[in-house]
Structure 1
Amino acid sequence: MPPAPTGSGLPPFLRTGDGTPLVLLHGLTGTWRVWTPVLEPLAAAHDVLAPTLLGHGGGTPHPAGTEISVASLADDVERAMDAAGFTTAHIAGNSLGGWVTLELARRGRARTAVALSPAGGWLDDRLLARVSKLMRQASRFGTVTNPTVLRILRRPRARHWAFRGAMAHGERVPAVAALEMVEDLGACTVLEPFLAATLRDGPFAEDMSQATCPIRVAWGELDRTIPFPGYGVPLLRRLPTAEVVHLPGVGHVPMFDDPPLVARTILEVTSKADAAAGTSA
């Protein structure tokens, strides 16, 4: 039975497919819907759970007056995993979801971890301020209600320019999905609290020595949001055992840019681990 919609009208998670468990985590201001382009191949191999993160549209509401952090986001994902019966799972995340993926790997909840352009790394506060400014600028789309603007977004060329900061090929986003992204932006209640938390807590600095699962970090070569030199290199200093791959032709949110490439990037890791463990779909 599908989950009941929340006040936003969007179910708090999607669960589909059959096989070993796989959890998919989206980025800041998004929802599970960003994974739609790759769900079919992933669900053919896995029991997929794609939750919306705490404080995001349709997800668990963030209690007013409480702090939000990567730890609290990971806590909420763990509750969703427990409810689904997943003691451990393959976990893949993009951007903020990639940061949460690494935290769950540290906690021992991941069989494998695939982080697509994960957030959490920066060389100095200037680079943090830069990406915070970009997120605030993007969030303004969440207030768009002008029918003329929404009609313009139905044009492929307009979508290319509207999403050029996040994707290399925004024109590949279907018009319906583009309007959903605008809706998801407006439904996120934790953008400012989370940006404040990153300034308070600093970059990813966890001890990953206890993480025993395979970790793959995959970075879009055309990522304009958090380019690899300034944000990936410092993050990888904390991940000495991670495998690093660079994804050609895609941006920060690569699922619409090249769905087969993203699915393959995840399935290469999960299928190898499942084969080694003697499990399969």
Structure 2
Amino acid sequence: MELAFERRGAGPPLILLHGIGHHWQAWLPVLDRLAAERDVIAVDFPGFGVSPPLPPGTPYTAESLADAIESFCAMLGLREPHVAGSSLGGYVALELASRGAVRTAVALSPAGFWSRSELLYARTVLRVARASARATSPERALATAEKRLGRMISAGVMVAHPSRISAEAMVAGAQALGNAPGFDDTLESFVWMMPPAPPKAPVTIAWGEHDRLLLRRQAVRAARWSGQRVKLLRGCGHLPMSDDPELVARVLLEASAG
């Protein structure tokens, strides 16, 4: 499947997968750090960013998105690349590891390890964020993002340090969230999302210390699933790439060194 992507660097291939409602630009803070040692491909999921939607009749589920990424890798001639994902992208990375389709997988605060109440909370927050993004003009969003208080309110759930995100990146992220045709169906599919099957490739799971969307206690369930300790990303929120790019790049490079 043809998907929008950004490719930089040289070395072992590393696929980067964003969260629900986001786009490949979520990885911009770490892209060049990773590209110094990897052939990095940051991709928009079908129905997100500027990638086309899934074909009619194809359900928006994590499994369907994983199928699309497998097809994308085959189109680029990538055999068992390393993969890293954030949130929904983290779940898809683990799904690909369960299929044995990747060499290693890193999942940053992956979806799917929530309780019923935690899922209800996350879905509510995401719906509100989507509605706000759709109701706010780019000009108004930029004016809000340029103010310290507005930035804290707009990005405080997703990151621990809103000041580290540029106003332009915040507006672009809001537009991606508001315009994503795959958002509603994908969010609905979360109701039936269960942890993937046991992985057939090495996995690394890391969680933001101050994650306010997928709460940090979910890491305990992820640890039970993986059979290993989950790395704690100190000082980071749900999107650690923006909070501490150096730390996230180090985790991804170490995990994909094998």
TM beyond 0.5: yes
SS class of match (1:37): helix
Q: For residues 59-113 of structure 1, what are the alpha-carbon distances to aligned partners after superposition, in whole Å with 9 as ceiling and x for unaligned?
A: 1313445421111000111111112211111111000000000000011122111
CA distance in 2, matches of 1:130, 1:250: 20
Residue 181 of structure 1 and its aligned partner are, at CA, apart by 0.6
Name the counterpart of 2:126.
135
1:226 aligns with one of 185, 206, 214:
214
User: Residue type matched to 1:128 in 2?
Assistant: L
When the two chains are superposed, the root-mean-square deviation of aligned CA atoms in Å is 1.7
CA distance in 2, matches of 1:139, 1:89: 32
SS class of match (2:240): coil
Q: For residues 106-153 of structure 1, what are the alpha-carbon distances to aligned partners after superposition, in whole Å with 9 as ceiling and x for unaligned?
A: 111221111111111112x22211111011011123211163442121
Residue 235 of structure 1 and its aligned partner are, at CA, apart by 3.1
CA distance in 1, matches of 2:141, 2:74: 42
User: Residue type matched to 1:181 in 2?
Assistant: G
2:225 aligns with one of 215, 225, 238:
238
SS class of match (1:237): helix
Name the counterpart of 1:278.
none
What are structure 2's unaligned runs of at least 5 residues?
none
1:207 aligns with one of 172, 197, 206:
197
Q: For residues 160-194 of structure 1, what are the alpha-carbon distances to aligned partners after superposition, in whole Å with 9 as ceiling and x for unaligned?
A: 22100000011110121111111111221122212
Residue 238 of structure 1 and its aligned partner are, at CA, apart by 2.1
User: Residue type matched to 1:253 in 2?
Assistant: L
CA distance in 2, matches of 1:152, 1:68: 32
Matched, 1:47 2:62: no
TM-score (norm. length: structure 2): 0.93
Q: Note closer, same or farther for the CA distance 1:102–1:176 as it changes in structure 2 (3 Å cut).
A: same
CA distance in 2, matches of 1:136, 1:27: 14
Q: Note closer, same or farther for the CA distance 1:202–1:178 as it changes in structure 2 (3 Å cut).
A: closer
SS class of match (1:140): helix
CA distance in 2, matches of 1:152, 1:90: 38
Residue 247 of structure 1 and its aligned partner are, at CA, apart by 0.7
TM-score (norm. length: structure 1): 0.86
Name the counterpart of 2:103.
111
SS class of match (1:238): helix
Name the counterpart of 1:277.
none
- Count of residues in Structure 1 that have an aligned counterpart in Structure 2: 256
Matched, 1:183 2:175: yes
Residue 13 of structure 1 and its aligned partner are, at CA, apart by 0.7
What are structure 1's unaligned runs of at least 5 residues?
5-10, 274-281
Q: Note closer, same or farther for the CA distance 1:111–1:192 as it changes in structure 2 (3 Å cut).
A: same
CA distance in 2, matches of 1:146, 1:106: 40
Name the counterpart of 1:35.
27
Q: For residues 32-70 of structure 1, what are the alpha-carbon distances to aligned partners after superposition, in whole Å with 9 as ceiling and x for unaligned?
A: 000000011100111111110121121131344542111
Cα contact 1:157–1:171 (8 A) shared by 2:
no
Structure whose alpha-carbon radius of gyration is higher: 1
CA distance in 2, matches of 1:182, 1:107: 33
Q: For residues 198-243 of structure 1, what are the alpha-carbon distances to aligned partners after superposition, in whole Å with 9 as ceiling and x for unaligned?
A: 21x2321x321xx3422111000000101121x2222332222x44
